[in-house]
Structure 1
Amino acid sequence: MKYLLLVVLAMMTISTTSFAKSKNVYADVLVTNISPADDALWKRKETAPPLYPIALARSGLQGCTVLSFDISESGKAKNIEAIQSIPHKNLGKYSRKMLKKWKWIPVTTAGEAKTEKRTLRLDFCLGDQSPEQTLQRCQQQTQLACNSN
């Protein structure tokens, strides 16, 4: 499985050059909650998928990042740490910037808002055929481990 993941990520990195030169580039970012998977205290205010960073799309960079962070009582992400960024650390840098801009709202209005520790995964995917093809590619990518071990 490790070998397969490395081969897939290497192919993604090598093939990204053609995306950067293609006339049509479709980009998608999938957000997957790792923990808590259920009974989360907070949810993203904006439900639309996050926008793919233009600099990453221009360079053709795609892959995944796992982030750990806290959501404060005021609904802001704090203590953001990129646990893993594959295949390049720039994904983690851009992921942290994206996450800092997100607004969080409590799931319920009952009781006082509490801090919550969260871990989530962002999958950055590019395609050159259609938005649907890119989404399908991203959904397949989420099945791969996002770590270098």
Structure 2
Amino acid sequence: MKNLTLVAFVLVTLSTGSLAKNKHFYADVQVTDISPTSDFIWKRANQNTPKYPIELARSGIRGCAVLSFDISESGETENVEIISSVPKKHLGKYSRKMLKKWKWVPVSAVEFTSEKRTLRLDFCMGEESTEQSQQACKQQTQLACG
């Protein structure tokens, strides 16, 4: 089974589009490592939760993206490739943009080599609570992405 490395919850206030003004939606962005699943050389430098892109939240877009990328010897995210995305047009684009900004630090002081990674980002929203969003993402991660 995939190794869950990070779960993030963000309260998103939406005030445009077909959604009611000032209505609160609870959004969850879940990051799951696909490869490798352990023995990482690098970890994210900024452990703050990934933010649900406001453009996606305003449109009510939910789904997932699987991305492959390299972490350079200097801890930069490089060569980001979208393997699959549902819905392809939106989540792949925003996931790639988000991932390109991530910086990485070595897990141990001994290793400073590059690393190839594949991960899955799940974007889930719920109207009632943070718990509802979390549960929706747990269910979503069991589904194929693409």
Shorter-normalised TM-score: what interval? 0.7 to 0.9
Structure having the higher strand fraction is 2
Specify which structure has the bigger relative contact order, considering alpha-carbon pairs within 8 angstroms and separated by 6 or more residues. Answer: 1
Instruction: Name the structure 2 match of 1:65.
Output: 65
Secondary structure of the residue that 1:91 maps to in structure 2?
A: helix
Per-residue deviation, 1:40: 1.1
Q: Counterpart of 2:117?
A: 118
TM-score (norm 2): 0.83
Counterpart of 1:130, as a letter, is S
For residues 103 and 92 of structure 1, what CA distance do their matches in structure 2 show? 19
**Whole-angstrom distance in 2 between the partners of 1:99 and 1:20:** 29
Q: Name the count of aligned residue pairs.
A: 128
RMSD: 1.4
CA distance in 2 between counterparts of 1:80 and 1:87 reads 18
What SS does the aligned partner of 1:24 have? strand
- CA distance in structure 2 between the aligned counterparts of 1:99 and 1:131, rounded to whole angstroms: 24
Q: Where do 5+ consecutive residues of structure 1 fail to align?
A: 1-18
TM-superposition CA deviations, 1:60-92 (whole Å, max 9, x none):
111000000000011111000111001232101
Structure 1 residue ranges (4+ consecutive) displaced by more than 3 angstroms after TM superposition: none
Amino acid at match of 2:119: L
